[in-house]
Amino acid sequence: MSGSVYGKHFKISTWGESHGDTVGVTVDGVPAGLSLDAQDIQAQLNKRKPGQSAFTTARQESDSVRIMSGIFEGKTTGTPIAMMVENGDHHSADYSNIMDKFRPGHADYTFDAKYGIRDYRGGGRSSGRETIGRVAAGAIAIKMLEELGINIRAFTRSIADISVSDDRLDFANENPLNMPDNEAYEKAAAYLEELKSQGESAGGVIECRITGLKAGIGEPVFDKLDASLAKAVFSIGAVKGFEIGAGFGVTGLKGSENNDDFAVKDGTVVKKTNNAGGILGGISDGSEIIFRAAFKPTPSVSVLQQTVTTAGEETGIEVKGRHDPIIVPRAVVVVESMAALTIADLLFDDMSSKMDYIREYYKSK
């Protein structure tokens, strides 16, 4: 029953529930000597902070991070970095109407079945606030990877059936839905307003692209890069699907259509296409890593649904309160964070036994 630790080298241990005192994370395995301050973390946390647009919960949280260890004179020391955010705006009263009912689409029932106890004030550990620890830890990984030229960028690919089109995709387009196609954004915004008025919610797809990663990252046969990313992303609440490169689309292709031909460019082996999404045999191939994840609609809706009480009686439920009509835009930074943590971890794994380097190091004084 201990699933809140992630990673082998760049190892994070998260804590905190939606209505507990604090949420946070300890990151063990950050290399020494990196420049790091609270602002590096805060900038990422702000991307997932609630209350910033019409499309997110009205819950007010400053989500100010406090770094509690592991930094000395502005540098990491190689020791664990603990980071914490106080939970401010609990509003426990909002939840009294659902304390004895299992909300459909939520983890109330399964938490109760597993632990025999449930923090009925909200989502508890399955709340989106749990992701604060992931984002704070991910901020460190992202900064470290960027220094190496490895960049991770996720965005909203689609909301319901409204998709960012490849030819209009432009990351200069900034909007509250993290949808880098203004035309799609406007359609989606209008659609979400309509859903909100119905008390409903929508799902969507997040795409993530990673550039600058060398060939060689990923550990066959079980800790492959794609398998590891799949787990990392699927561990985010509300994810129901994950695909790499051409993904489910590969089944419509013949072998020769799906295979990416190799060529030589500037003395380096490159692929002419990228159906593989940058991964062959579970190992990065040096081209862009591309994956997508499907997120379900926010399960909290204020329309009437059928459910069961904790006492086992059938009943109806309308989930009132402050809920996002869509999870996707705020989850973008969470996807980036989980990708960064996974890449950092596998990068260290790959580096751990490069004998050329070890021989050189052992020859030095």
Looking only at residues 24 through 63 of this chain, which bind its own copies when binding is defined by CB under 8 A?
Answer: 24, 26, 28-29, 31-34
Omega prior to 221 cis, within 30 of 0: yes
Q: Is 262 in the site for its own copies (CB under 8 A)?
A: yes
- Identify the sign of the CA torsion 227, 232, 235, 237: negative
Least CB distance to its own copies at residue 85 (A): 10
Question: Residues with Cβ < 8 Å from 33, sequence gap 6 or more?
Answer: 75, 76, 78
Tokens found for residue 276: 């593989």
Among 148, 174, 190, 320, binds its own copies (CB under 8 A): 148
Least CB distance to its own copies at residue 155 (A): 15
Q: Is 143 in the site for its own copies (CB under 8 A)?
A: no
Grouping H, G, I as helix, E, B as strand and the rest as coil, residue 101 is strand
Question: Residues with Cβ < 8 Å from 125, sequence gap 6 or more?
Answer: 16, 17, 111, 119
Among 58, 100, 146, 234, binds its own copies (CB under 8 A): 234
Among 202, 208, 290, 331, binds its own copies (CB under 8 A): 202
Stretch of 38-46, 48-56, 57-65, 105-113 contacting its own copies, by CB under 8 A: 105-113
Least CB distance to its own copies at residue 180 (A): 18
Tokens found for residue 245: 């490169």
Name the residue nearer to its own copies (CB basis): 172 or 211: 211
Stretch of 37-45, 53-61, 181-189, 272-280 contacting its own copies, by CB under 8 A: 272-280
Among 95, 102, 155, 185, binds its own copies (CB under 8 A): 102
Among 40, 99, 104, 322, binds its own copies (CB under 8 A): 104
Question: Residues with Cβ < 8 Å from 197, sequence gap 6 or more?
Answer: none
Among 283, 289, 331, 334, binds its own copies (CB under 8 A): 283
Stretch of 40-48, 91-99, 179-187, 196-204 contacting its own copies, by CB under 8 A: 196-204
**In angstroms, rounded to a whole number, what is the distance separating the alpha carbons of residues 206 and 313?**
38
Name the residue nearer to its own copies (CB basis): 14 or 175: 14
Q: Is 248 in the site for its own copies (CB under 8 A)?
A: yes
Binding mask 311-330 for its own copies (x = CB under 8 A): -xxx----------------
Name the residue with tokens 């938490």.
Answer: 111
Least CB distance to its own copies at residue 237 (A): 7
Grouping H, G, I as helix, E, B as strand and the rest as coil, residue 308 is strand
**Angle value at C-alpha 217, between 15 and 140, nearest 5 degrees:** 35
Least CB distance to its own copies at residue 168 (A): 19
# residues contacting its own copies (CB under 8 A): 169
- The residue among 109, 154, 107 whose CA lies nearest residue 128 is 107
Binding mask 205-224 for its own copies (x = CB under 8 A): x--------xxxxxxxxxxx
Name the residue nearer to its own copies (CB basis): 280 or 332: 280
Tokens found for residue 83: 């980071």
Q: Is 191 in the site for its own copies (CB under 8 A)?
A: no
Q: Is 286 in the site for its own copies (CB under 8 A)?
A: yes
DSSP for 260-305 reads PPEEEETTEEEESS-TTTTEETTEE-SS-EEEEEEEPPPS--SS-E
CA distance to 47, 188, 236, per residue, from 180 (Å): 15, 12, 22
